Amino acid sequence: MAPSVGIPCSLLYFWFYPFWETFFRELGARVVTSGSTNKQILDLGVKEALADACVPVKLYFGHVQALMPEVDFLFVPRLVCLNYQTTYCPKFLGLPDMIRHTFTGSPPLIDIRIDVREGLHALPKAYWQAGRALGAKHAAVARAYLLAWKAQRRYLTLLQKGLLPGEAAPGKSSPTGKRPPDRRGRLVFGVLGYPYLVHDPYISVGLIARLQKMGVGVITLENIPPRLLYRQPLPLDKRLFWTPGDLVYRAALYLLSSRRVHGLIHVTAFGCGPDAMVGKYLEQALRRHPEVPFLTLTVDEHTGEAGMATRIEAFVDMVRRPKAGW
């Protein structure tokens, strides 16, 4: 029987799921995901993760537990660096160790370490190790790797056309099929933050759907081509160290300088170390653009629906009022 590989629907699942799913499926594995976050998953994570961990890490623990009885292997990659310049937050670097030491009876982990600074072949080599964990031959891994890239490129193209991760992922569809949303003549907000906060409707308390229901068009970090982000001049002496934080900051600068949004919302997790800096830099950037209203939404495991809804509605009303007609 084909081995099953579990992929937790949390953290960088929202960026790399098409690659991971295609890679393991093409190697003949049965790919099992933990599904959307719900209260049970959150409670499981809160119970097992360190009390001072950020809520995304707690959620990851919950998703892992939901998968543990179902699968032969768990895919828990150690993502270090994918762009030669910045690294992922230390929580990502320690993820396989945290999972292994917390859940001693967990299925074997496929815990490849990915750091492209180790050389040209670092990425294929890491996936070669993942394939070897499943007993796959070299040619099969090479084929799965190429098909995974193809799926990932298709996904990125759809994101850059304006779809959101939940709409562009294989097997999912948006209200307009795979067509980009039409934002002409609408109030448009940039909603910036880490993908596992912004695109997890449970922890963001349905932020994006709420905005869309109120007639607000949404642009997220994933909709902006990376070449535009990396071309963005930074008003800093050096870049930020952490990859997602660096991208969020660049996305804010890009949206502000290109005047593409009428408001900006930053979604951040309570207790996030990197965001303590990113948030401050965003505030500084917004001071140079006082015409763009700015809202910070901090989420944690106690975030309530009523409080979140009130803040979002008040923000939309505030932006909309002077621009009658939207």
Residues that bind ligand SF4 (CB under 6 A): 54, 56-57, 89, 91, 194, 244, 269, 272-275
| Closest CB to ligand SF4 among residues 54, 148 | 54
Amino acid identity at 270:
F
Enter the tokens of residue 26.
């093409």
Least distance (Å) from ligand SF4 to the CB of residue 200? 12
| Closest CB to ligand SF4 among residues 17, 23 | 17
Least distance (Å) from ligand SF4 to the CB of residue 224? 19
Least distance (Å) from ligand SF4 to the CB of residue 217? 26
Grouping H, G, I as helix, E, B as strand and the rest as coil, residue 324 is coil
Distance separating alpha carbons of residues 137 and 13, to the nearest angstrom: 26
Least distance (Å) from ligand SF4 to the CB of residue 75? 17
Least distance (Å) from ligand SF4 to the CB of residue 198? 11
Terminal-to-terminal C-alpha distance of the chain: 56
| Closest CB to ligand SF4 among residues 22, 37 | 37
Alpha helix (H) residue ranges in 161-242: 165-168, 195-198, 207-213, 226-231
Distance separating alpha carbons of residues 282 and 6, to the nearest angstrom: 36
| Closest CB to ligand SF4 among residues 70, 300 | 300
Residue 146: partners with Cβ closer than 8 Å, 6 or more residues away:
none
| Closest CB to ligand SF4 among residues 43, 300 | 300
Main-chain dihedrals φ then ψ at residue 189, nearest 5 degrees: -115, 145
- HSE of 246, CA atoms in CB hemisphere, 13 A: 22
Distance separating alpha carbons of residues 232 and 42, to the nearest angstrom: 37
| Closest CB to ligand SF4 among residues 24, 242 | 242
SS3 content of the chain, % helix, strand, coil (to 5): 50, 15, 35
Least distance (Å) from ligand SF4 to the CB of residue 60? 8
| Closest CB to ligand SF4 among residues 165, 181 | 165
Least distance (Å) from ligand SF4 to the CB of residue 197? 7
Main-chain dihedrals φ then ψ at residue 40, nearest 5 degrees: -65, -45
Closest CA to 54 of 275, 222, 281: 275
